[in-house]
Chain A
């Protein structure tokens, strides 16, 4: 009897915790959607922002976020791929674990430190100021571990027999990588890239004093010009406590940003489940 009662109590505690957690998160998503939807309209999504973001839309902010994460992804991908391939194919096995630990450590660096580092390197040392190129480099560095780890896991999961058949055909290492390793880790590469992009899209602290400005910018015409993003837009508008119209626009921008991040994450989950299906086959 007592044992059973204890079991029931344990289960109910866990169930209550689950209920609270799930309803909390539902409330959060519900609030973001309901408040954001009321700001959404065709003009809100297609117009430029006016009057310091208090009126007008968020077209260039959306574009800025997409431009910035795309350029960071393009810069980060080859380096991550090279790192993962070098680590799995060339590096001495006894060093592989140490290399992984270093990469994991990079993943643990608080993002604001990337921002400070970028400010010192691009703002002071190279004197390019607040610019698209600094944001690209900083975000590329930030998402590098995400990409590398994902690609490395994909390479590790390639069945040994594929490598063996390649080697038995007399492939050189380079040919093995080109013909077997990279094609067979393709989905892992894409998943890693998408995870990295989602992470970059949600990042504010790393780029707020290096790449983005709040107003007066549309599309950067060169790498040295500043860019405007949804993240910065929300950050500034959120602090406009007294203006209800600014608040509404902040919610609209927040919904747009959340939808971008969710879209990227859902695509990456979809691809990941396909990898799993292929692995089981």
Chain B
């Protein structure tokens, strides 16, 4: 009799939905592995280190991987100082009411769809970059980095603000009691205590930036080559996501071209999830001490 409740219909329904949710990620991972295996058989490690990608001949993913990292780094360099500065002002210097307003506005802005940023990028940013840096083509790595930076700015700001708010009041009070002024309190007591949470914010937004497809695809051009010299950010290029967005529907789901694209997706999956994973663990730990 007591076993009835243990395996009752309610439990079975809840359990099955739970297992559906958990298994999705496993299924996706399995899909990525099986669909990309042929390209690893064909190319071996050259798939990851090769620098040429000609459909039907050779598939080297290094340019896309490198440019993905480069664009993401650019976006971070641009968004991190602005986001952190805003978070510090909002959390440490603004009165509670204004803080909530700033936060709400940032959360709203974080929801602006990528395709709208893409439109903004095409119409305004590419032409501006082209004019300012006197380029032939405004579609370049720099444009994509700037656009991504603007996109992740609200995320960096809100998550680092959360991290700053979780620092206990006592830290600030003790630092004040030692005779430090307001800025010193923030620099010596609050920031070090919130460092882990801020790192989490950075990792989360990095993961988001890496996976962003549409806006990058619209402003980066499409050249599957490592920029030369390698730090040249004024040249058109191709990230993993822009490559996938452009070519996935051409590959039709079979053959080495498709396998190679899924191989790229697998690389992206591992990079982006690794970041999100570490970031989440750090942030969650900070929140639920």
Contact = CB atoms under 8 A, between A and B. Distances in A.
Contact of A235 (B85, B111, B118, B184): B118
Contact of B218 (A108, A112, A238): A238
A137 B230 CA distance: 41
Interface residues on B, range: 35 or more
A111 B213 contact: yes
Contacts of A234: 115-116, 118-119
Contact of B25 (A102, A124, A254): A102
A201 B113 CA distance: 8
Given A22-B86, A113-B269, A251-B119, A108 B114 contact: no
Interface in A106-123: 106-117, 119-121, 123
A80 interface: yes
Interface string B81-113: 111111011100100000000101111110111
A116 B81 contact: no
B116 A82 contact: no
B119 A14 contact: no
Contact of A108 (B18, B241, B275): B275
A41 interface: no
A121 B153 CA distance: 35
Interface of A is mostly: helix
Contact of A238 (B93, B108, B122, B210): B122
A253 to B, nearest CB: 9
A20 B207 CA distance: 24
B209 to A, nearest CB: 10
Interface string A2-35: 0110111011011111101110110011011000
Contacts of B244: 112, 116
B116 A7 contact: no
Interface in B97-156: 102, 104-109, 111-116, 118-120, 122-124, 150, 153-154
B253 interface: yes
A21 B157 contact: yes
A114 B119 CA distance: 23
A250 B119 CA distance: 8
Given A82-B16, A204-B113, A209 B21 contact: no
Given A11-B183, A79-B21, A101 B280 contact: yes
A265 B116 contact: no
A254 B265 contact: no
Contacts of A261: 111-113
B42 interface: no
Contacts of A239: 122, 218
A228 B214 CA distance: 17
B89 A247 contact: no
A83 B21 contact: yes
A167 interface: no
B111 A85 contact: no
Given A198-B111, A258-B112, A108 B273 contact: yes
Nearest to A13: B85
Given A106-B25, A238-B115, A17 B84 contact: yes
17 contacts: A21-B153, A21-B157, A28-B112, A82-B17, A89-B14, A99-B18, A99-B22, A110-B212, A110-B268, A116-B262, A120-B31, A202-B112, A205-B214, A231-B113, A231-B115, A238-B118, A261-B113
Interface of A: 3-4, 6-8, 10-11, 13-18, 20-22, 24-25, 28-29, 31-32, 78-83, 85-87, 89-91, 99-117, 119-121, 123-124, 141, 144, 148, 172-174, 177, 198-199, 201-205, 208-209, 231, 234-235, 238-239, 241, 247, 250-251, 254, 257-258, 261-262, 265-266, 269
Interface of B: 5, 8, 10-11, 13-18, 20-22, 24-25, 28, 31-32, 35, 81-86, 88-90, 93, 102, 104-109, 111-116, 118-120, 122-124, 150, 153-154, 157, 181-184, 186-187, 207, 210-214, 218, 241, 244-245, 248-249, 253-254, 261-262, 265, 268-269, 272-273, 275-277, 280-281, 284
Q: Name the 7 nearest CB pairs between A and B, nearest first.
A: A17-B85, A110-B211, A108-B276, A82-B17, A202-B113, A7-B183, A205-B213
